[in-house]
């Protein structure tokens, strides 16, 4: 008797053999793996991946790194102002998105939409907004309203409207149906039931989503200046164009500190919501 048998008091039984996989399953698995590998190799080619070029470029980059020290402290106040502008773009853009997304998410959620004929176009519209990046919207708005942070605000607001509407409607769909049904059976209309019985239940999850997208938008706003839509990205582009490496180092540090602070703050707030 083995040790295990003695301890457990249970006899040992041989493990039954695994059922054999049919040939078709095995062949199709091999084929799928092959297609996946071939696809990846194709992507490597398309993306011009060349380790030798990277190796040749490394010394140049190391040189830049050396030149970047010590980071310049010249006109630090301008940089900080630009950083604040970046945060402002994200805060205002995200807030506009919340205001725009709230009514649409009710129309886009399966359990609260008045009809499928309303839901489909609303979802298509939101998906369209989500499909175009804030950066691309900002590029268009720079042409329309001119250079500056306002173009960035509009870009962030439009793209976030789409993402937020979709995420909000998904959190509505995750709610239990009972309380809503109970309220509707009392004869109250859609607006009343949505605002009184739906909102309190989704509020924690939509505030969490709002904070998360705000945090995401602050990171996204750091590059908006590259297309002239305001914020610290403008300074970033200037420094790269002028090969002013000490200044570039300072800008990157400012971005890093700003993003870390925002991440910490947002994580802390979201923890309190949960």
Partner 1 sequence: MTALSVRGLSHAYGGVPVLTSVDLDVEPGQVVAVVGPSGAGKTTLFRCLTRLVRADAGALEVHGRDLQQLEGAALRDARRDLGLVFQSYNLVRRLTALQNVLVGRLADVPTWRVVLRRFPAHEQALAASCLDQVGLLRFAHTRADRLSGGQQQRVAIARVLASRARVVLADEPVASLDPASAGAVLAALRSLATSHGKAVVCSLHQVDLVAGFADRVVGLRDGRVVLDVPAARFTPDVARDLYTPELERTPAR
In the complex, the residues that contact partner 1 under the rule CB under 8 A are 176, 178-179, 181-183, 185-189, 191-193, 195-197, 200-201, 203-204
Decide whether 146 or 204 has the Cβ nearer to partner 1.
204
Decide whether 69 or 117 has the Cβ nearer to partner 1.
117
Decide whether 22 or 178 has the Cβ nearer to partner 1.
178
Q: In angstroms, what is the minimal distance from the CB of 102 to partner 1? A: 12
In angstroms, the Cα distances linking 66 to 56, 237, 247, 250, 252 are 17, 20, 13, 14, 15
Decide whether 17 or 187 has the Cβ nearer to partner 1.
187
Decide whether 91 or 175 has the Cβ nearer to partner 1.
175
Q: In angstroms, what is the minimal distance from the CB of 180 to partner 1? A: 9
Q: In angstroms, what is the minimal distance from the CB of 176 to partner 1? A: 8
Decide whether 97 or 202 has the Cβ nearer to partner 1.
202
Three-class DSSP labels, the chain: CCHHHHHHCCCCCCCCCCCCCCHHHHHHHHHHHHHHHHHHHHHHHHCCCCHHHHHHHHHHHHHHHHHCCCCCCCCHHHHHHHHHHHHHHHHHHHHHHHHHHHHHHHHHCCCCCCCHHHHHHHHHHHHHHHHCCHHHHHHHHHHHHCCCHHHHHHHHHHHHHHHHHHHHHHHHHCCCCHHHHHHHCCCCCHHHHHHHHHHHHHHHHHHHHHHHHHHHHHHHHCCHHHHCCCCHHHHHHHHHHCCCHHHHHHHHHHHHHHHHHHHHHHHHHHHHHC
Q: In angstroms, what is the minimal distance from the CB of 106 to partner 1? A: 13
Q: In angstroms, what is the minimal distance from the CB of 267 to partner 1? A: 23
Q: In angstroms, what is the minimal distance from the CB of 188 to partner 1? A: 3
């Amino acid at each position: 008797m083995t040790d295990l048998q003695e301890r457990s008091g249970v006899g040992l039984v041989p493990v039954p053999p695994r059922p054999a996989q049919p040939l078709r399953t095995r062949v199709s698995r091999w084929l799928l793996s092959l297609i996946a590998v071939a696809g990846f190799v194709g992507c490597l080619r398309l993306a011009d991946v060349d380790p030798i070029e990277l190796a040749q470029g490394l010394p140049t980059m190391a040189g830049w790194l050396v030149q970047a020290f010590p980071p310049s402290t010249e006109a630090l106040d301008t940089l900080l102002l630009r950083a604040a502008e970046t945060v402002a773009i994200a805060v205002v853009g995200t807030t506009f998105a919340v205001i725009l997304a709230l009514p649409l998410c009710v129309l886009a959620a399966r359990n609260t939409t008045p009809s499928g004929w309303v839901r489909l176009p609303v979802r298509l519209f939101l998906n369209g907004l989500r499909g175009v990046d804030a950066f691309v919207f900002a590029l268009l708005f720079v042409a329309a309203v001119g250079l500056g942070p306002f173009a960035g605000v509009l870009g962030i607001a439009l793209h976030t409207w789409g993402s937020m509407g979709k995420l909000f409607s998904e959190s509505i769909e995750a709610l239990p149906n009972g309380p809503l049904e109970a309220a509707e059976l009392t004869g109250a209309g859609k607006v009343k039931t949505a605002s009184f019985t739906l909102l309190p239940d989704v509020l924690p999850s939509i505030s969490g989503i709002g904070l998360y997208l705000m945090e995401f938008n602050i990171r996204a706003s750091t590059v908006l200046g590259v297309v002239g839509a305001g914020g610290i990205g403008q300074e970033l582009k200037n420094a790269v164009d002028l090969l002013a490496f000490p200044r570039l180092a300072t800008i990157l540090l400012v971005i890093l500190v700003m993003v870390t602070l925002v991440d910490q703050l947002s994580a802390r707030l979201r923890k309190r919501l949960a």
